[in-house]
Structure 1
Amino acid sequence: MRSLLLAACLTAALPALAQTTAAPVSVETMKEATRVLSSDAFEGRAPGTPGEDKTLAYLAQQFARVGLKPGNKGSWFQDVPLVEITSRNVTPLTFTGAGGPIALKYGPDMVVATYQVTPKSVVANSDVVFVGYGINAPEKGWNDYAGTDVRGKTVLILVNDPDYASPSLTGTFGGKAMTYYGRWTYKFEEAARQGAAAAIIIHDTVPAAYGWNVVQSSWTGAQQVADAANNHMDQSKAIGWMQLAAAKKLLAGAGKDYDQLVGAAQTKGFRAVPLTGVKAGVAFDNQVRRHASKNVVGILPGTKRPGEVVLFTGHWDHLGRCEAAADGDDICNGAVDNATGTAALIALAEANAKAGATERSQVYLAVTGEESGLLGSAYYGDHPLYPLNRTVGGINMDALSVAGPARNVVVVGKGKSELDAYLDRALTAQGRVAEADPSPQNGYYYRSDHFSLAKHGVPMLYVDSGDDLVQGGKAAGAAAAKDYTDNRYHGPKDEYDPNWNWAGVAQDLSLFYTIGRALGNTTAWPNWVAGDEFRGIRDRSRAAK
């Protein structure tokens, strides 16, 4: 009853919906911006490359064309200090001792890199320990490192978290819904806190939610890290991934059964398992370059309460040049991921400027470094250009679907914030519905830029395009998603196609436009729901306003 009353109160507080029957957001603008940004001339839009320079110039020109103002004290840009580290002369990752020697080749068998800003990385004669899921969660009474000293050692880590295979959303780690403990970023962070010299994640396609091709293309080129005064020397010397088959062979040689170890690691009270007598080694040179990448920011100033901000976000970056396809194409164009989301910023800004500014300001933020670990949005969260306790909420756009119109949308993080009421009302006007993410085990909530703002308490919507397609239903939606993940995601074939079906994109843009104007014209301050992990942060920040 309480939730029903809350929903009723929120709905009553919403302003009248913007009229969207005329489809005010230009699909032609979307098409052209997506085509340009994903063209070979932009070389895959990697930070710190000529592709970034072209992207920044294009976005500033387009933001100005559609009627935005520079969003950083007269500048379109916010510097994001980064370090580019490119591994060179990578030796095989070797394991000697019981069952050895095993030598894994860089690329097809393993990938390795470092966060440390140093000219050479060497791990030699390092003891090897299987640490299960590599989680230390005191609030859950769970510590995979308990009783084990891994300082100077190489840890092998399972991907995702212990109850990812659960059929339900109940469990120590949210059942099948991945928590932050399941993300590779966390696993490397925790391994470093424990003093590990090297941290290697065992790749498994199902719990990872992507194949080895994605790992290889993402980790074998230049890597970006945030600049830091300590050069990240508190991090592990080497971080990376290894193929599942290689891990099984290594463990079997050490007298361990992989499936039995996984079963044990999924049980509370698991203790890390040293691979007695096994030593690991790897070495590589690092080509280091410091540079200031940039977020691009434009503003449509509010008419009555310009100090209050509605935020639209999308990442402009992609992987640049990557592992070549069979035909020799080595440009990861990132057409869907995320030229579409970046183009959406331009198209939405154009529509809102034509309609006239809302009472609150609208800020359009194209961030860098998402593919390297949400670096640009994290920097904005730590160094906001507009106070976060005066930021009403926002919408993040990452990889819009060009599979056609859908009867629904998929909400990553459905039920977390009161923004759902705005979404539901706008969907009702379209004759569509919101559904929860059907694959919460993939951890999408922690894999895009809304998470960087949520960590600071700002309510953010992350709405994926629908998977219940008008033509073909759920089966067609699943097939389209699988085709993209298997054949284009983070690969050279994520390219613009003039034959794409843009009708679903038009639906989604109209939806985002409607929600943005509703947020821009209300005096309400939607919050996270009671009990959500970010509610306390928001309450404290608003109280300090």
Structure 2
Amino acid sequence: MAMISRTNFGHKAWARFGLRAGQWAATTALAASLAACATMGRGSPPAMAGNGTPEIPIDTMKEVTRTLSSDAFEGRAPGTEGERKTIALLKERFAAAGLQPGNNGSWVQKVPLIEMTGADYSPMIVKGGGQAIRLAPGDDYVAVSYRVTPETRIEDSEIVFVGYGINAPEKGWNDYAGIDMTGKTALILVNDPDYDADTLDGPFGGRAMTYYGRWTYKFEEAARQGATAALIVHDTFPAAYGWNVVQSSWTGAQAYAQTADDGASQTRANGWVQKPMAERIMTMAGQDLAAMTAAAKRKGFAAVPLGVTTSFGFDSAIRRFESNNVIGVLPGSERPDEVVLYTAHWDHLGRCKADETGDDICNGAIDNATGTAALVALAEAHVKAGAPERSIAFVAVTAEESGLLGSEYYAANPVFPLDQTVGGVNMDALSLAGPANDVVVVGGGKSELDAYLDDALGELGRTATPEPTPEKGYYYRSDHFSLAKRGVPMFYVESGEDLIEGGTAAGAAAAADYTENRYHGPQDEYDPDWNWDGAEQDLRLFYRLGRSLANTGAWPNWLDGDEFRRIRDESCAASDTGC
């Protein structure tokens, strides 16, 4: 059975929209607060004169979606015959659309991947004060290694409680201040210090999760601090998923993008522990987890060495293989070295658990044949309109379902320098429930891109609905995030919930039907009876967003105080030719 993405933990656009009608009203106050944040501190976009939307080739959307999601493509798993067919189709369609090969004369960027499968896990033994606690693998803790090594052993590593594990210079916050983590294991709380706020006010966005709340950041920061291992305390509400999701996602085969050092700069082990186990560890150390959690929410918290040690280990089977990102470009007429991106992932799960009919192909029609088809359709529309001032690149990335690996590899090895990348639009799982009055803005109020979105929505007669559950951090769970965390401002705008026919109740019903009956299963297949009006509506918006960025000399930035502002500013300051 195909692995559920550790990065996504099952999230897709429609899956997130599964609100019952009664839940909608509960989000109103928060939505209003988010909308207010989204209008603050923005620059103004250029006028859209001359940038009117051409006809969107919906027949292209239908044809490419149908072909990519056919059984002949076997679910488009990376490294399979399905990938070979997908890459060939995208090359053909990009060329026919009038794009040029985007990677120095090549249509592809090779993406070296590593698959590591853990086995022979030992219990985790925590010792201190003459006592010992035994944590069972899978049930009490999970762990993997980001280092490409056949054997991982953690021996008598001192555990240090580091609160939320955040080092945010722009906020004057450093949970690692004054502590040397060499040889030690960081015990870390999930989410942000102010995650349980009722509003969006707070040093870390209040209820809205920031990057500092994501487990990916916490493991990265622990590695930067020199920790031997990092363990996050699982708590269902701030994590936004139960232990069963952690357990299923962090066991079995794990895929990674290869790095030059084979992960040597990472911790030796990263994992999670059940909250009751963390409470027992704290008690053994003479501490109380609840009290320590309360202390960690306050600025100036100092990491606490617990005086207890942990030991555990496992083996890893290693498989190296290669996949591909596909890149086409429409060169700009005036500033071709400045680039606007469209991104979407072409991959899906391949063969998966069979349904009651014996069908074991997860076709991924909506997820994400629709987004991949949108790349082709938008390429045709932009070429037909003629070259804009800046170049537009269309990037179909691999291995999103394995943890954003294709986009991560691209962002770490950019074909177009990041300081010359203006921004972009990511497309993941378009809605086929019909046209909507609104769009859902994921990560609104973070960057000056908001002004471009407001301008385009106004001209198209649509409204922006803030995401109803910002505490779950969905902005950090799709391919645009690989670029955003390196400073490139990225749109993540999803299909609306307020359908023209049926309103929010109809939107919620369509979302629930997809989530319950088709998402990540063999039933996510092409349906000739789909209503494509909503997809066409969304592509008109995506076209205008990309075209507007490509026909301006402005460089939209993150807002002051955003976690990515410092990264972008440093990148721009070091550049002689870009932002």
Smaller-chain TM-score bracket: 0.7 to 0.9
The yes-or-no answer on 1:506 pairing with 2:510 is no
- Whole-angstrom distance in 1 between the partners of 2:264 and 2:99: 41
The yes-or-no answer on 1:102 pairing with 2:134 is yes
**Which residue does 2:49 correspond to in 1?**
15
**Which residue does 2:28 correspond to in 1?**
none
Report the CA distance between 1:134 and its aligned residue. Answer: 1.7
Report the CA distance between 1:263 and its aligned residue. Answer: 2.5
Residue number among 500, 504, 524 corresponding to 1:495 in the alignment: 524
Tell me which amino acid in the other structure corresponds to 2:569. Answer: G
Kept after mapping to 1: 8 A contact 2:175/2:302: yes
Report the CA distance between 1:283 and its aligned residue. Answer: 2.3
**Which residue does 1:384 correspond to in 2?**
414
The yes-or-no answer on 1:442 pairing with 2:472 is yes
Report the CA distance between 1:205 and its aligned residue. Answer: 3.3
- The change in CA–CA distance for 1:62 and 1:544 in structure 2 (over 3 A counts) is closer
**Which residue does 1:525 correspond to in 2?**
554
- The change in CA–CA distance for 1:60 and 1:163 in structure 2 (over 3 A counts) is same
**Which residue does 2:210 correspond to in 1?**
179
Tell me which amino acid in the other structure corresponds to 1:15. Answer: A
Q: Secondary structure at the match of 1:313?
A: strand
Q: Secondary structure at the match of 1:185?
A: helix
**Which residue does 1:540 correspond to in 2?**
573
Q: Secondary structure at the match of 1:264?
A: helix
- Whole-angstrom distance in 2 between the partners of 1:145 and 1:440: 27
- Whole-angstrom distance in 1 between the partners of 2:134 and 2:446: 46
**Which residue does 1:240 correspond to in 2?**
271
Kept after mapping to 1: 8 A contact 2:39/2:450: no
Q: TM-score, normalised by structure 1?
A: 0.83
**Which residue does 2:57 correspond to in 1?**
25
Residue number among 197, 208, 218 corresponding to 2:239 in the alignment: 208
Give the number of equivalent residue pairs.
535
The yes-or-no answer on 1:83 pairing with 2:118 is no
Q: Secondary structure at the match of 1:56?
A: helix
Residue number among 335, 339, 351 corresponding to 2:369 in the alignment: 339
The yes-or-no answer on 1:227 pairing with 2:255 is no
Deviating more after overlay: 154-163 vs 421-430: 421-430
Residue number among 380, 401, 404 corresponding to 2:431 in the alignment: 401
- Whole-angstrom distance in 1 between the partners of 2:199 and 2:336: 44
- Whole-angstrom distance in 2 between the partners of 1:257 and 1:322: 43
Report the CA distance between 1:44 and its aligned residue. Answer: 4.8
* 1:226-260 CA distance string (max 9 Å, x none): 33343322322221223445545655676655444
**Which residue does 1:72 correspond to in 2?**
103
Q: Structure 1: which 5+ runs fail to align? A: none
What CA RMSD, in Å, does the superposition of the two structures yield over aligned residues?
A: 3.8
Deviating more after overlay: 118-127 vs 449-458: 449-458
- Whole-angstrom distance in 2 between the partners of 1:105 and 1:91: 7
Report the CA distance between 1:319 and its aligned residue. Answer: 5.1
Report the CA distance between 1:159 and its aligned residue. Answer: 1.5
Report the CA distance between 1:345 and its aligned residue. Answer: 0.9
For 1:406-445, list aligned pairs within 5 A. 406-445=436-475
- Whole-angstrom distance in 1 between the partners of 2:123 and 2:316: 16
Residue number among 317, 326, 330 corresponding to 2:347 in the alignment: 317
Kept after mapping to 2: 8 A contact 1:131/1:156: yes
Q: Secondary structure at the match of 1:420?
A: helix
Kept after mapping to 1: 8 A contact 2:343/2:426: yes
Report the CA distance between 1:326 and its aligned residue. Answer: 9.7
Q: Secondary structure at the match of 1:429?
A: helix
- Whole-angstrom distance in 2 between the partners of 1:536 and 1:442: 27
The yes-or-no answer on 1:462 pairing with 2:492 is yes
Tell me which amino acid in the other structure corresponds to 2:382. Answer: N
- Whole-angstrom distance in 2 between the partners of 1:300 and 1:473: 38
Kept after mapping to 2: 8 A contact 1:34/1:496: no
- Whole-angstrom distance in 1 between the partners of 2:410 and 2:72: 28
**Which residue does 1:113 correspond to in 2?**
144
Tell me which amino acid in the other structure corresponds to 2:240. Answer: A
- The change in CA–CA distance for 1:443 and 1:9 in structure 2 (over 3 A counts) is closer
Report the CA distance between 1:101 and its aligned residue. Answer: 4.2
- The change in CA–CA distance for 1:432 and 1:523 in structure 2 (over 3 A counts) is closer
* 1:340-389 CA distance string (max 9 Å, x none): 32221122223334454445432211123444554433443344333445
- Whole-angstrom distance in 2 between the partners of 1:43 and 1:109: 36
Q: TM-score, normalised by structure 2?
A: 0.79
Identity within the alignment, %:
59
**Which residue does 2:396 correspond to in 1?**
366
Q: Structure 2: which 5+ runs fail to align? A: 1-37
Q: Secondary structure at the match of 2:492?
A: strand
Kept after mapping to 2: 8 A contact 1:204/1:244: yes
Report the CA distance between 1:76 and its aligned residue. Answer: 0.8
- Whole-angstrom distance in 2 between the partners of 1:224 and 1:184: 17
- The change in CA–CA distance for 1:538 and 1:258 in structure 2 (over 3 A counts) is closer
- Whole-angstrom distance in 1 between the partners of 2:429 and 2:137: 32
- Whole-angstrom distance in 2 between the partners of 1:487 and 1:201: 32
- Whole-angstrom distance in 2 between the partners of 1:91 and 1:139: 41
- The change in CA–CA distance for 1:485 and 1:351 in structure 2 (over 3 A counts) is same
Q: Secondary structure at the match of 2:500?
A: coil
Report the CA distance between 1:294 and its aligned residue. Answer: 2.0
Q: Secondary structure at the match of 2:347?
A: coil
Report the CA distance between 1:72 and its aligned residue. Answer: 1.9
- The change in CA–CA distance for 1:269 and 1:310 in structure 2 (over 3 A counts) is closer
- Whole-angstrom distance in 1 between the partners of 2:409 and 2:346: 15
* 1:127-175 CA distance string (max 9 Å, x none): 4444321223344343333455544343332211111111222212222
**Which residue does 2:13 correspond to in 1?**
none
